[in-house]
Amino acid sequence: MTVPLRIPFFPPDLFEDDRAVLLGLLRDIGLAPEQRFILGEHTRRFEQLLKESLGAADVVACSSGTSALDLVLAALDVGPGDEVVVPAFGCAPLASSVVHLGATPVFADIRPHTMVADPAEVEKRITERTKAVMPAHIFSVMADMPQFADLARRRGVRLVEDSAVAQGAVLGGTPAGLWGEAGVFSFVQVKSFGMPGEGGVVVTRDAALGERVRMLRNHGQDGRHRFLHHVIGRNSRFDEIQAAFQIHRFGGLAGRLERRAAIAEYYTERFAPLAERGVVPPPAGRDGRCYYVYAVLAERRQELERALRERGIESHAYYPLPLPLQPAFAVFAPPGERWPHAEEAGRQALALPVYPHLTDAQVEYIADAVCACAAH
């Protein structure tokens, strides 16, 4: 078996197989007589494709996953005086999307093994000011959406699903994105359906909400009357070349997701015996799972990271500092409150390469390396 010298965490050749297609689209759309570069026929077809494949009421393409969250919260009229409960462990837009609308993010701790928001912790933080709860799927695990749906119903709050990383996941028969009143996907390069640029979508099973998002993404216009602004909107439009490229790549998505899941399954099987050695893999299984990132919990993360690097394997530690401990969001962290599981995940989570074009030999090499490090 030949062993590669270096296995990157962020592979530079994600779009290599489709290079000729992309250059062709660039030329075709670039030279087309209508000179339409945003929100044209390709974007409409891409939205339709996702809508049909999901069984959603509407899919609205926009400029990023972050912008998709902003559009959803704005469409739900989240604003000053409102609170939105978000996980303490995760990416910045979970909190900043709330802050940008003048509302207050309230941070809830996560479940220690799966690292997704703990519904009991979220419920504890609901007050008469809570407008919405916004759980996020993290790494390979969907949040406990049946519990969140139940909580939202019982407590009378809106449910926004940050499904940015979980495109293609299905939990109990319902696809990620359709559990909340609205969900989002991100197409930034490294996500499972990433593309060479910025983009995202809002997905919803509520057609009226979709209509509102559609208006907000292009300066409050309805798409029929130019320069008529029904509401104060934003510029969050989608690129035609990227839309055409994503339509082309959509056919291969299921296969790429399946390859990710197969790699993850192999890792989890190999790592199951390492738990007593301080390396804990995510739970096994396929329901409610999408292997965007495969992260283990390592008691001695730095050592594992270093040992892998010495073997040419790059790993990645996401979110070392929980959101409420970030300088940007500390003002929203009640004095004295702690998020012990989020802090622990920040210290221990280590993500391994899981992209679909890893060879079996590379996958085995990575698993061998993790097992060897854990043995010492």
Ligand X SMILES: *Cc1c(COP(=O)(O)O)cnc(C)c1O
Interacting residues toward ligand X by CB under 6 A: 64-66, 90-91, 93, 136, 162, 164-165, 186, 188, 200
Which residue is closest to ligand X by CB? 65
Q: Which amino acid is at 66?
A: T
DSSP tag of 284:
P
CB of 328 to ligand X, least distance (A): 15
CB of 89 to ligand X, least distance (A): 10
Name the residue nearer to ligand X (CB basis): 87 or 370.
87
The CA distance from 209 to 203, in Å, is: 10
The CA distance from 268 to 324, in Å, is: 31
CB of 169 to ligand X, least distance (A): 13
Query: Residue 24 has which token pair?
Result: 């062709």
CB of 195 to ligand X, least distance (A): 10
Cα end-to-end distance, the chain, whole Å: 24
CB of 32 to ligand X, least distance (A): 27
CB of 321 to ligand X, least distance (A): 16
CB of 184 to ligand X, least distance (A): 7
The CA distance from 305 to 298, in Å, is: 9
Question: 245: buried, middle or exposed (CB in 10 Å: 19+, 13-18, 0-12)?
Answer: buried
CB of 20 to ligand X, least distance (A): 26
Name the residue nearer to ligand X (CB basis): 40 or 65.
65
CB of 185 to ligand X, least distance (A): 9
DSSP tag of 87:
E
Name the residue nearer to ligand X (CB basis): 90 or 353.
90
Q: Are strands 279-280 and 104-108 parallel, antiparallel or unpaired?
A: unpaired
Name the residue nearer to ligand X (CB basis): 64 or 315.
64
Name the residue nearer to ligand X (CB basis): 200 or 281.
200
Give me the count of residues in the chain. 376
Phi-psi category of residue 102: left, alpha or beta, with phi > 0 → left and psi -120 to 50 → alpha: left
Name the residue nearer to ligand X (CB basis): 161 or 305.
161
Name the residue nearer to ligand X (CB basis): 139 or 267.
139
DSSP tag of 188:
B
The CA distance from 183 to 203, in Å, is: 5
Name the residue nearer to ligand X (CB basis): 24 or 197.
197
Name the residue nearer to ligand X (CB basis): 90 or 175.
90
197-200 contact pairs (CB < 8 A, 24+): 197/239, 197/242, 198/63, 198/64, 199/61, 199/62, 199/63, 199/64, 199/238, 199/239, 199/242, 199/246, 200/61, 200/62, 200/63, 200/64, 200/65, 200/66, 200/67, 200/68, 200/164
CB of 210 to ligand X, least distance (A): 19
The enclosing H or E element of 186 equals strand 182-186
DSSP characters over 104-147:
EEEEE-B-TTT-SB-HHHHHHT--TTEEEE--B-BTTB---HHH
